[in-house]
Structure 1
């Protein structure tokens, strides 16, 4: 699993994961599964998009951007 931070990719309009200063996942798609670090534990989820924007299914956070996540290699 690779850990990183959720970020917006303004160029593509997609959500992305930044692993370090020069390495990103490359753009997430609806249905991409991942774990989010929430309340001191990893919680499984997947990302979706609707008319309001990107969201994680079954997880409530104020904002996606900056959240610590991990994704299979």
Structure 2
């Protein structure tokens, strides 16, 4: 969840997962969906599975990601 709750685990929050995604995408610029998912799960843990899609949506809305349908990958956008 993006909004804070009493029992929110900050390590598995949408903002933390999005930060991990950005770090990986800044390093490699383009990552396939499955590779990005694997890297996030390895860095944050399997509990981050719940926040993964919400974090992708968040980064897309704020203009940090571009999705390429042809090769099912995400590209980091600066700016």
TM-score (norm 2): 0.29
Higher strand share: 1
Higher helix share: 2
TM-score (norm 1): 0.31
Task: Choose 1 or 2 for highest CA Rg.
Answer: 2
